[in-house]
């Protein structure tokens, strides 16, 4: 869910970079902020149970284009969610997501952290964290680290 939101936000932000930033010259800075929502998106919850999620979020994308093939993109979104599984208790809560892309002529490195906490209908809490580090170099994708922590306390 969050990766989809961030990829859409990043694509829109990259399309809005002034043409002078893409053409070269001194480093160009670009920042885009906004709000949004997604409703009833198919999603698999922490326990692997499918359902639908609705999210209200705010986002920020910051791009630094060095004009020589190097670029950094920092993306963040945060907000609230409601998850309705096909089986089991519904939950709602908040989340925070952030990632950084470092781009060179032939390499893209992404580091991301997606964290939040939900509360089930019976009052139990479910914190979750997803961390990832991915490198794309010379057309090859390498997943350096992916870790997931999802518990009901």
pLDDT digits (tens, 9 = 90+) for 122-144: 888 888 898 999 998 887 888 88
81 near 54, Cβ under 8 Å? Answer: yes
Strand partners, 147: 131
pLDDT at 110: 93
23 near 39, Cβ under 8 Å? Answer: no
CA 25 – CA 29 distance, rounded (Å): 12
pLDDT at 89: 87
Per-residue pLDDT of the chain (153 residues; tens, 9 = 90+): 444 444 444 444 444 444 444 555 689 999 999 999 999 889 887 778 899 999 999 999 999 999 888 999 999 999 999 999 999 889 999 999 999 999 998 899 999 999 999 888 888 888 889 899 999 888 788 888 888 888 755
Query: What are the two backbone dihedrals, phi and then psi, of residue 46, each rounded to the nearest 5 degrees?
Result: -55, -40
Structure tokens, 149: 């922590």
pLDDT at 43: 86
CA 143 – CA 131 distance, rounded (Å): 11
Number of domains in the chain: 1
Domain boundaries, position 42: 2-150
CA 100 to chain centre: 10
Q: 32: which residues sit within 8 A by CB, 6+ positions away?
A: 9, 12, 13, 16, 59, 60, 61
pLDDT at 5: 45
pLDDT at 24: 56
CA 76 – CA 32 distance, rounded (Å): 11
């Amino acid at each position: 869910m969050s990766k989809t939101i961030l990829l859409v936000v990043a694509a829109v932000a990259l399309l809005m970079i002034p043409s002078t930033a893409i053409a070269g010259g001194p480093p160009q800075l670009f920042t885009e902020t906004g709000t949004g929502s997604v409703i009833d998106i198919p999603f698999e919850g922490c326990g692997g149970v499918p359902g639908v999620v609705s999210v209200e979020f705010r986002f920020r994308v910051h791009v630094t284009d060095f004009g020589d093939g190097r670029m950094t993109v920092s993306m963040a979104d945060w907000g609230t969610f409601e998850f309705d599984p096909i089986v089991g208790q519904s939950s709602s809560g908040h989340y925070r997501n952030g990632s950084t892309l470092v781009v060179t002529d032939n390499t893209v490195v992404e580091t991301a952290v997606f964290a939040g906490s939900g509360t089930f209908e019976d009052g139990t809490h479910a914190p979750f964290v997803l961390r990832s580090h991915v490198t794309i170099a010379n057309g090859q994708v390498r997943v350096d680290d992916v870790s997931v922590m999802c518990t009901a306390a």
